[in-house]
Amino acid sequence: MDVVAGVDIGGTNTVVGLVTREGEILAERRIDTTAYPDVDLFCDAIAANVASMAERIDDCLVRGIGIGAPNGNYYSGTIEEAPNLVWKGIIPFADLLGSASRLPVSLTNDANAAAIGEMMYGAARHMRDFVLVTLGTGLGSGFVTGGELMYGSTGFAGELGHVIVVQNGRRCGCGRRGCLETYVSAPGIVRTVGEVLAEYGWRSDLAAIPLRSMTSRDVADAAAQGDVVAREAFERTGTVLGRTLANIAAITSPEAFILFGGLAASGRLIFEPTQREMESNMLPVLKGSVRLLMSKLMESNAAVLGAAALAWTDLDKGIV
Ligand SMILES: [Zn+2]
């Protein structure tokens, strides 16, 4: 049976899975990323895990490897200055893993891989124009136009999280101020709760939780109980997101924005204000043309599936 390996590189854990063309994960292993300060040894470990998983499956042929990595550059196969990884600088990761495994390797950033996964296995099947938005500790995005992922001239196109939405706004990890992800992300909504509490002094159960340890889940739970501060925080978060999506729609005219991740799992709480603000700010010719959808890969290992979908796509194109 033909499979590819999907590799999801994270700051703490890396997950490696063997995935069929239909998106079935036949085997999966977890590697402690922090245990490998030497990237060569890390690549050897991935290659060894891929080989040993394949040995346990009858007639298994590994065709290639796809990787989703923070700050991954599809063009060069490099991981560049990723703040949460142990390896600093510009790492020629695809070349290193290619040498270690003797397999064709494709690499892109994690949100782009998730978009390809959604196109092959999830809510974007049969779509040629959509944007995947991941709402977690940051805001990642993958833009697909005409059936192709948009990489731009550098390989780093489609960074929706770093569109500036508030002049002189909140400080962002990228070194600038007012980026979308400082408002629309798990830490972003917690910061908004802090502002709402300070502004209104409304009675709220959230006041009892220190902001440092508050999670977006706490905010969602409180909002579901009718907490006014939590509801206001979701309103503001959805408002910023919806307006920004209307702006993006004016540029790429997607069929859909697909939301993924912890904050997206809050369902109506985030979808309602986002949909309303998106539609009310939409360019008239585009009104009613853009759907707001939930990812269909939330329950499965979307990152591994996305990385595998990248490998299948590139093998089919004959690129690798
Ligand atoms: Zn930023």
Lookup result for tokens 């809510």: 123
Secondary structure tally for the chain: helices H, strands E: 8, 13
Is the pLDDT at 84 greater than 90? The verdict is no
1-5, 57-61, 296-300, 309-313: the lowest-pLDDT one? 296-300
Strand partners, 177: 171
Q: How far apart are the first and last CA of the chain?
A: 20
CA of 248 to the centre of ligand 1 (A): 17
38: left (phi over 0), alpha (psi -120 to 50) or beta: beta
CA of 180 to the centre of ligand 1 (A): 7
Asked if residue 50 lies in contact with residue 64, where contact means CB atoms within 8 angstroms, the answer is no
CA of 61 to the centre of ligand 1 (A): 42
CA of 182 to the centre of ligand 1 (A): 7
314: helix, strand or coil: helix
Dihedral sign of CA atoms 304, 75, 249, 188 in order: positive
* CB neighbour list of residue 251: distance below 8 Å, 6 or more residues apart: none
CA of 40 to the centre of ligand 1 (A): 31
- The tokens for 55 are 């040995």
Is the pLDDT at 121 greater than 80? The verdict is yes
CA of 83 to the centre of ligand 1 (A): 13
Is the pLDDT at 299 greater than 80? The verdict is no
Model pLDDT, residue 40: 97
φ/ψ (deg, to 5) at 136: -135, -130
Position 29 confidence tier, pLDDT thresholds 50, 70, 90: very high
DSSP 284: G
* Cα distance between residue 82 and residue 87, in whole Å: 8
Region 134-147: mean pLDDT is: 95
CA of 179 to the centre of ligand 1 (A): 5
Position 201 confidence tier, pLDDT thresholds 50, 70, 90: confident
Geometric angle at alpha carbon 35, from 86 and 159, rounded to 5°? 35
Position 200 confidence tier, pLDDT thresholds 50, 70, 90: confident
pTM, two decimals, is 0.93
CA of 118 to the centre of ligand 1 (A): 25
Position 95 confidence tier, pLDDT thresholds 50, 70, 90: very high
CA of 25 to the centre of ligand 1 (A): 34
* pLDDT tens digit sequence for 270-296: 999 999 999 999 999 999 999 999 999
CA of 163 to the centre of ligand 1 (A): 7
CA of 50 to the centre of ligand 1 (A): 35
CA of 241 to the centre of ligand 1 (A): 15
**What radius of gyration do the chain's Cα atoms show?**
20
Burial of 155 per CB tally in 10 Å (0-12, 13-18, 19+): middle
Asked if residue 5 lies in contact with residue 62, where contact means CB atoms within 8 angstroms, the answer is yes
* Cα distance between residue 50 and residue 53, in whole Å: 5
CA of 308 to the centre of ligand 1 (A): 28
* pLDDT tens digit sequence for 100-118: 999 999 999 999 999 999 9
- Among the listed residues 173, 5, 183, 181, the one whose alpha carbon sits nearest the alpha carbon of residue 84: 173
CA of 169 to the centre of ligand 1 (A): 11
CA of 11 to the centre of ligand 1 (A): 19
CA of 257 to the centre of ligand 1 (A): 21
Tell me the residue length of the chain.
Answer: 320
CA of 254 to the centre of ligand 1 (A): 23
CA of 232 to the centre of ligand 1 (A): 24
